[in-house]
Structure 1
């Protein structure tokens, strides 16, 4: 099901406080049970600060999208092109109260459509995030390997998933 009235567009600087709020809420709902509230707060403060989000706006090799219903930011997605021309999905989050409405599916489709020459899409997902893993499997992604986010030991244990894209 796709949400009626859903608008997906590039994120603007004025959207960043709402995007940060969405990310903090979603991360706590998703990861408090895995990492604990304190560690999730540390991660969101580092990865999702207004400065960190602002640095991601307008990147030449990527997209930073938001999904809106009315005036509310209900989802966000980011992706970038990799040296091997793969599309790397770096973020896909939907407000917990809005999950299951087709917003994540639509955000994913729009984000990947921004990379028409990508032969494959990749993403990293927390290995204990069963709901996200199931979502990505429904979207056609498969497990490639297990890793640490960004290869660092102080970051979450992740699964690398991939999906072959059709290049015309």
Structure 2
């Protein structure tokens, strides 16, 4: 049985630990080891997580399966009716268990609570070679554009931008 709780700045270490378990599993066949390391430090260092959870105002949720953390999701509100799903990751041994759907539904419910009377749009970026694209399509997202986004150190994120209105 899945449960979820809002994360706060004190959960940065747990989120970093979960990320370390999914990062290479998710991107090891897509990105070079150097880019993997660069992006992990950029996104999951404790100072970066504190920035995301503080001034950047990303709301993280941590999913649990039988009281054991199994994944997380991060949502950023960009304007009144536009949200960006920044991160959604499920531990490899929990993939296919429904944890991803549970986290996505958590995000939908959270966003609906912030704009209960008007439709809201959620966008996400997904690497064009990431098999998670099929999961997002299954959840109702569609590709609206693509791009190659520089992230520093000569690296790019080669992504689709997918969108859903709820």
Note whether the superposition's TM-score is higher than 0.5: yes
Alignment of 1:1-168 (within 5 A): 4=1, 6-57=2-53, 62-83=58-79, 85-116=81-112, 117=115, 118-129=119-130, 131-149=131-149, 154-165=155-166
After superposition, the C-alpha distances for 1:121-163 in whole angstroms (9 at most, x for unaligned) are 111100110x200000000000101013478773210000011
**Aligned pair count?**
160
Q: What root-mean-square deviation, in Å, do the aligned CA atoms of Structure 1 and Structure 2 show?
A: 2.2
SS at match of 1:56: helix
Give deviations 1:30-71, integer Å, cap 9, x for gaps: 111111223211210121111111222256854211112345
Distance in 1 between the 2:9 and 2:84 partners?
23
Quickly say closer, same or farther: Cα 1:49–1:62, change in 2 above 3 A.
closer
What is the DSSP-based 3-state SS (H/G/I as helix, E as strand, rest coil) of the residue aligned with 2:30? helix
Tell me the distance in 2 between the aligned counterparts of 1:82 and 1:164: 14
SS of the residue corresponding to residue 96 of structure 2 reads coil
Conservation of the 8 A alpha-carbon contact between 2:22 and 2:90? yes
- How does the TM-score come out when normalised to structure 2? 0.85
Question: Any unmatched runs of 5+ in structure 2?
Answer: none
Distance in 1, matches of 2:49 and 2:146, equals 27
How has the CA–CA distance of structure 1 residues 25 and 33 changed in structure 2, closer, same or farther, with 3 Å as cutoff? Answer: same
TM-score, length-normalised on structure 1?
0.84
